[in-house]
Amino acid sequence: MVAFYGTEVTSRLMLGTAQYPSPAVLEQAFRRSGAGIATVSVRREAGAERAGAAFWDLVAQLGVRVLPNTAGCHSVREAVTTAQMARELFETKWIKLEVIGHADTLQPDPFGLVEAARILTDEGFEVFPYTTEDLVLAERLLEVGCKVLMPWGAPIGTGLGLTNIYGLRTLRAQFPDVPMVVDAGLGLPSQAARAMEMGFDAVLLNTAVARAGDPVGMAEGFARAVEAGRLAYEADPMEPRDMAAPSTPLIGKAFLE
């Protein structure tokens, strides 16, 4: 169980809803994974025409919490407007805030992200900012009212995993009481398990499941990895050491003369 803005969610796995080969596969992947939160882009809906109504009905039937996002927004104004549309459309204060600053890496614009987060929190939104592992940026986001951080593991859609272990560990240690979700760049269940072993509260991914040869099987693989990683973290794992140490005690060992 993990809580975001006072709302408890049973699963620490969040899944995106884009790029699946079919709606049926999307539904099966969610059900097999047990994911508790689905991210949805507002661009799937077409305003008053409700062109995306069938898709929204499918997501609603999954019985999961919806986290709308501002995917593809490159300015503060665009992100804020999209968030306002999402609140009206999905009837939720939650918003995954993306303000993209670099076209190739899809790295967040730190200045725009903080400004948009400030505006949205002032309007009563509960903001989930997609950010980097930068400590100063994290501090600024918390100062303007964010109570969750979503640092990337790697650029969106790359599958590179956790490219800056030191930065992520430092971020986690610096803000131990802030819920954190590793968001983007994960390609394998083992990478999700490692994020959980480091003490992160959840992971969010999309492409690694949706574009796998077997999305349903991959979704289950990530679910098991997230659970295993969290169990390992809570079990207080041993510290690595340079020297070997026998696991079998020498006391009582027979010595031959």
Active site residues: 96
**Phi first, then psi: what are they for 233, rounded to 5°?**
-60, -45
* Residue 224 C-beta-side C-alpha neighbours within 13 Å: 8
Q: Is 34 annotated as a binding residue?
A: no
Q: Is 157 annotated as a binding residue?
A: yes
* Angle, CA 234 vertex, CA 229 and CA 238 arms, to 5°: 85
Grouping H, G, I as helix, E, B as strand and the rest as coil, residue 136 is helix
CB 141 within 8 A of CB 118: no
Query: Distances from the Cα of 31 to the Cαs of 78, 216, 218, 220, in angstroms?
Result: 33, 9, 12, 9
Q: Is 184 annotated as a binding residue?
A: yes
Q: Is 213 annotated as a binding residue?
A: no
Q: Is 185 annotated as a binding residue?
A: yes
Q: Which residues are annotated as a binding site?
A: 157, 184-185, 206-207
Q: Which residues are annotated as a binding site for 1-deoxy-D-xylulose 5-phosphate?
A: 157, 184-185, 206-207
